[in-house]
Structure 1
Amino acid sequence: MTLSLNSNRLSLSLFFLQDVIVGFLYSILILIFFLPVLDLIDSFNLTCRYAPLMIVSLHLGLGLFSFNLDTWSTSRGDTAQILGTGAGIALASHVNHLLGLMPDPTPDQLPLTMPALNARLVAVALLRLVLGVLVLVATRALMKALTIPLVCRVFGVPSADVRKARQHMEVELPYRYIVYGMVGFNVLFLVPLLFSYAQFS
């Protein structure tokens, strides 16, 4: 019995190690192709008037492509969550640039210096953390409460059992995409805006 448990642990550890190695190699491969064009992509996302449409379409298309599975899997929801968060952050960057919020530091402000550590700085940092987390938790709860019944109604899926309803691709993809898209958007737009209004910066 003990030998069986130890061999199971060993095989799980090896699979985990293989996943980490393959993920690392994929990251290097992605960087090789995308690193030369990152500035171009960033400039497009910030300045092009059609960037929001492209951002939403691209992330949604990637989500639909990755959802080509016959059976329900938690990885589908995780993929939609990652894509939704990325889309929300990219949209927030575009809006911040459009409204002139969070500008890049000017050359005379560089290099940035670390402020002196004192009680006020720690208190402000903790206050920002609590306020930010509260806003994001509230965003997630509100969007979840609105999105699941709406998506179930649109696609004719019974919404009495939320867990069972979310096992349908047509519910899980928009639910995760919309909810975490809003969370990502608020991370980079609404929360910093609240900080600036509350003079927590």
Structure 2
Amino acid sequence: MDSATRITLLTKAARRGTFNTSSGSPAAEGRTASSTRRLPRRTNLQPRARQGRQRPRTPRPPAAASTPRRNSLTEEDGCQEFNARSRFLYYLFSLGTELGNELFYILFFPFCIWNLDAWLGRRLIIIWVWVMYLGQCTKDVIRWPRPASPPVVKLEVFYNSEYSMPSTHAMSGTAIPLALLLLSYGRWQYPLMFGLILAFCWCSLVCCSRIYMGMHSILDVIAGFLYAILILIVFHPVVDLIDDFNLTYKYAPLIIISLHLALGIFSFTLDTWSTSRGDTAQILGCGAGVACGSHVNYMMGVKLDPPLDTLPLSLSSLTVTVFGKAILRLLIGVIILLLTKIAMKKATIPLACKIFRIPHDDVRKARQRMEVELPYRYITYGMVGFSLMSIVPCVFHFIGLS
């Protein structure tokens, strides 16, 4: 390497802060050139690392981001997307909403009848049927619209086609826990304060969930709460008479079926289609099926009620075996109910379309016709209620789970 080239390299190294006072041997020249090549890389890495630390982090996605669950029978073009900032509140009030939906009913009432107290379960269903029926009818008389969206963000639109006043979720969320407290206290051994706290939390959760979900105003919820209490005041004193009539009167099934069917047919003069009519027929059918199943059990001598000498009942005898049998009964029984529902749905919709000469190419459109909707709902859920009260307990007895 000539002297001019060496002077140029040493000058560049000095400017970069890598000047080395080594001798001019080839080894020293190699180290100097190597240092000249490596050190700038180390220098360049440091700013990148600092830039990486200073780079703003990408915001984490919201706790819940989705579209509301909608009813497949409605003709809504789309659903408003939403982001829930509080995961806890969103799932808490979603749970509160489910306490007034079909999934809860198909788990709660069977569990109560099969595992706890059939006497209590029958009376709860009687009160529930009348509360829901009167609430749905009142909605279609008042015809108060749902809260406008916007400004309200609706996190659930499954029942958006129905009217708003009063809130039937608030009515069921008030009537069921209060009726459970009134009917069970004294028959079951538990602290009164526990029952009051449970009823308060249950009722508050359901009522507040309807406001959080954007489906009702505060006035709707308060009206539903007070309306449910009024119905309880009227029907609680006579619920024993109604249950005794369902069990013992010879022609009770004929009267029950005729009454519930008439209530479903003559109660509605809808200006536009909504899920209200079908849901009401579904509730009436379930109540009629349970009542008829209770009558059949009584006539056949099938006793589901606990013996009188075991009263008051207590949960202190709960063991692993008892709990396991209860879960197994619930699992097998609910599967039977769901199979019954599917089979009856497959049979009744085409049959009703054929009888009333309604095209069934579009099942959704066909189910919105009263001639199809009422028979389908009434017969299907009537059989579900009858299976709940009569067929499933017979299956339990046959396989040794009674």
For the superposition of Structure 1 and Structure 2, which TM-score range results when normalised by the shorter chain? 0.7 to 0.9
Query: Which residue number in structure 2 is paired with residue 29 of structure 1?
Result: 230
Task: Work out the CA distance in 2 between the residues paired with 1:196 and 1:166.
Answer: 37
1:8 partner amino acid: V
Deviations 1:32-68 (A, max 9, x none): 2222322222221111111111111111111112332
The residue correspondences of 1:1-201 to structure 2 (distance < 5 A) are: 7-9=151-153, 13=214, 15-114=216-315, 115-118=317-320, 120-201=321-402
Displacement of 1:87: 0.8
Displacement of 1:105: 3.3
Contact 1:136 1:186 in 2 (8 A): yes
Task: Work out the CA distance in 2 between the residues paired with 1:71 and 1:14.
Answer: 19
Deviations 1:4-28 (A, max 9, x none): 9884248974834333322222222
Task: Work out the CA distance in 2 between the residues paired with 1:14 and 1:174.
Answer: 29
Name the CA shift for 1:70/1:170 in 2 (closer, same or farther; >3 Å).
farther
Contact 1:97 1:103 in 2 (8 A): no
Task: Work out the CA distance in 1 between the residues paired with 2:370 and 2:323.
Answer: 44
Task: Work out the CA distance in 2 between the residues paired with 1:149 and 1:179.
Answer: 13
Name the CA shift for 1:112/1:64 in 2 (closer, same or farther; >3 Å).
same
1:134 partner amino acid: I
Structure 1 portions without partners, runs of 5+? none
TM-score by length of 2: 0.46
SS in structure 2 of the partner of residue 49 of structure 1: coil
1:40 partner amino acid: L
Name the CA shift for 1:143/1:46 in 2 (closer, same or farther; >3 Å).
same
Displacement of 1:176: 0.5
Task: Work out the CA distance in 2 between the residues paired with 1:134 and 1:172.
Answer: 24
TM-score by length of 1: 0.88
Deviations 1:161-201 (A, max 9, x none): 11110110111011001001111111111111111111113
2:252 partner amino acid: A
Contact 1:72 1:169 in 2 (8 A): no
Name the CA shift for 1:152/1:96 in 2 (closer, same or farther; >3 Å).
same
1:95 partner amino acid: V
Structure 2 portions without partners, runs of 5+? 1-147, 154-210
2:245 partner amino acid: F
* Identity %, equivalent residues: 57
Contact 1:67 1:169 in 2 (8 A): no
Displacement of 1:127: 1.9
Query: Which residue number in structure 1 is paired with residue 208 of structure 2?
Result: none
Superposed CA RMSD: 2.3
Name the CA shift for 1:81/1:44 in 2 (closer, same or farther; >3 Å).
same
SS in structure 2 of the partner of residue 112 of structure 1: coil
Task: Work out the CA distance in 1 between the residues paired with 2:370 and 2:319.
Answer: 49
Indicate the structure (1 or 2) with the bigger Cα radius of gyration. 2
Please identify which structure carries the higher helix content.
Answer: 1
Task: Work out the CA distance in 1 between the residues paired with 2:265 and 2:237.
Answer: 27
Bigger relative contact order, structure 1 or 2, given CA contacts below 8 A and separation 6+? 1
Task: Work out the CA distance in 2 between the residues paired with 1:5 and 1:36.
Answer: 42
Task: Work out the CA distance in 2 between the residues paired with 1:19 and 1:34.
Answer: 22
Displacement of 1:79: 0.8
